[in-house]
């Protein structure tokens, strides 16, 4: 693993610097790792909370409400679990030198898009084409 490079706290990737240079790569690596840690921490809190909140509620309406809340929480955690695997895939792409490039066209993904959605695998244009195709096939 590479030695950690210095990155100022106020650093933001700029279009004026070479695409996916060492500083940009480190910026996105840190962003992804921080996001992953937050998701994992939330997940641990949910599991601990569900263990603490297991109880027998006599009122059927209250019990139904709590079960609905739990089901919603579990769906949210499942989405986050899938998100963690996408974050891991993005970290692998960074290690392999493929991060930041569209998997369809091979062109660079805009820094604004990557900053907003660091797990993006397609440029905005390729993503839009993909979604239009998906909608057309879904309507059939």
Query: pLDDT tens digits for 74-118?
Result: 888 889 999 999 999 999 999 999 999 999 999 999 999 999 999
Q: What is the pLDDT of residues 18-68, one digit of tens each?
A: 999 999 999 999 999 999 999 998 887 777 666 666 566 777 887 788 788
The answer to whether residue 11 sits within a structural domain is no
The answer to whether residue 108 sits within a structural domain is yes
**Coil, helix or strand at residue 108:** strand
Torsion of CA 55, 59, 62, 66, to 10 degrees: 30
The answer to whether residue 27 sits within a structural domain is yes
> Where residue 47 sits, what CATH number does that domain have?
1.20.120.910
The answer to whether residue 29 sits within a structural domain is yes
pTM of the model: 0.79
Q: What are the CB-based long-range contacts (under 8 Å, 24+) for 37-42? A: 39/80, 39/83, 39/84, 39/87, 40/84, 42/77, 42/80
In total, how many domains does the chain have?
Answer: 1
The answer to whether residue 133 sits within a structural domain is yes
CA dihedral (134, 135, 136, 139) positive or negative: positive
**Residue 26, Cβ density class (10 Å: 0-12 exposed, 13-18 middle, ≥19 buried):** middle
Torsion of CA 56, 61, 66, 71, to 10 degrees: 120
Task: Supply the range of the domain harboring residue 83.
Answer: 22-139
* The pLDDT value given to residue 86: 97
The answer to whether residue 5 sits within a structural domain is no
pLDDT band per the 50, 70, 90 thresholds, residue 1? very low
Distance CA 40, CA 50 (A): 15
The answer to whether residue 28 sits within a structural domain is yes
């Amino acid at each position: 693993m590479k030695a950690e490079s210095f990155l100022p706290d106020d650093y933001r990737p700029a279009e004026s610097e070479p695409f996916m240079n060492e500083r940009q790569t480190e910026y996105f690596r840190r962003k992804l790792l921080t996001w992953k840690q937050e998701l994992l921490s939330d997940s641990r809190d949910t599991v601990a909370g569900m263990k603490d909140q297991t109880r027998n509620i006599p009122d059927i309406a209250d019990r139904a409400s709590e079960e609905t809340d739990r089901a919603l929480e579990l769906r949210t955690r499942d989405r986050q679990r899938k998100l963690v695997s996408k974050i891991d895939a993005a970290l692998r792409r960074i290690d392999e030198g493929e991060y930041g490039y569209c998997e369809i066209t091979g062109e660079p993904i805009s820094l604004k898009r990557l900053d907003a959605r660091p797990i993006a695998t397609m440029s905005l244009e390729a993503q839009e084409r993909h979604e239009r195709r998906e909608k057309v096939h879904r309507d059939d």
